[in-house]
Amino acid sequence: MDPPPTRPEDPEKKSHAGIPEAEFVEDVDAYMNHPDHDRKSEDVLKQFDEMHSKYRFMELNLTQKKRKLRVQLPDLEKSLELVKKLKEESAKKSGNGLPAHFLISEQLFAKATIPPTKTVCLWLGANVMLEYTLEDAEALLTQNMTVAKKNLGIIQHDLDFLKDQITTTEVNMARVYNWDVKRRQAAKAAGDAIQ
């Protein structure tokens, strides 16, 4: 199950990554007549389009991060399960070890017995592997899982925020475009009337 989206701790900030908020255009006519825009709908549309592309790019980035975390979580869970299994096994007095089949390469497994053990090696990434006691390994994996879940919540919040900005920008673009169509029509009608 996905963790719920996590809000930023600072209430002033609406997104964790500091994503800028899209401006909502309340009154298109007033907006276009503003000296900054000078009734140039092409320029305004271009600006919106640029923002839109930027938002889309951020969305893509975050979606990739989210996907990576969703793959990572089950992996962590499996490792944690195995560490727990090893702990159980070594706690047994009569433990002869744990018979298992190991993946040697794709499609090829070999039989081996894991003797009762107190330590396990964790792959930390970047070509580093460290030996931990079973207890420490369990604690580390649990902590990693908590962090991964928290990050997933943060990413989800930012994605939700981004989605809002994208939708707002899209609506703005449609309205400015239609404003322009109307203006042109009105100008054409006025021209026809004179003739």
Partner 1 sequence: MRHFEIKHISGIMSSSVQSDSDVHISRIDQTKINEFARMNARLNDLKELIKVKENDLRNLEDAVDEIALLDDADPVPYSYGEIFVSCSLDEANGLLEKDKSRLTDELKLMKSEAGSLLETMSDLKTHLYAKFGDNINLEPDPEDDD
Give me 73's structure tokens.
């979580």
Query: Which of 17/171 has CB closer to partner 1?
Result: 171
Burial status of residue 37 (CB atoms within 10 A of its CB: 0-12, 13-18, 19 or more)? middle
Minimum distance, C-beta of residue 78 to partner 1, in the bound complex (Å)? 4
Question: 32 with 179: CB under 8 angstroms?
Answer: yes
Minimum distance, C-beta of residue 181 to partner 1, in the bound complex (Å)? 6
Among 15, 16, 19, 28, binds partner 1 (CB under 8 A): 28
3-state secondary structure 59-116: HHHHHHHHHHHHHHHHHHHHHHHHHHHHHHHHHCCCCCCEEEEEEEECCEEEEEEECC
Question: 158 with 62: CB under 8 angstroms?
Answer: yes
Give which of 100, 134, 96 is closest to 116, Cα–Cα.
Answer: 96
* Alpha-carbon gap, residue 38 to 60, rounded angstroms: 33
Among 17, 69, 73, 82, binds partner 1 (CB under 8 A): 82
Task: Draw the binding track, 32-71, toward partner 1 (x: CB under 8 A; -: no contact).
Answer: ------------------------x--x------------
Q: What is the CA radius of gyration of the chain?
A: 29
Task: Draw the binding track, 83-122, toward partner 1 (x: CB under 8 A; -: no contact).
Answer: --x------------xxxxxx-----x-------------
Minimum distance, C-beta of residue 49 to partner 1, in the bound complex (Å)? 11
- The answer to whether residue 23 forms part of the interface with partner 1 (CB under 8 A) is no
# chain residues binding partner 1, by CB under 8 A? 38
- The answer to whether residue 139 forms part of the interface with partner 1 (CB under 8 A) is no
Contacts with partner 1, residue ranges (CB under 8 A): 1-2, 24, 26, 28, 56, 59, 75, 78-79, 81-82, 85, 98-103, 109, 159-160, 163-164, 166-168, 170-171, 173-175, 177-179, 181-182, 185
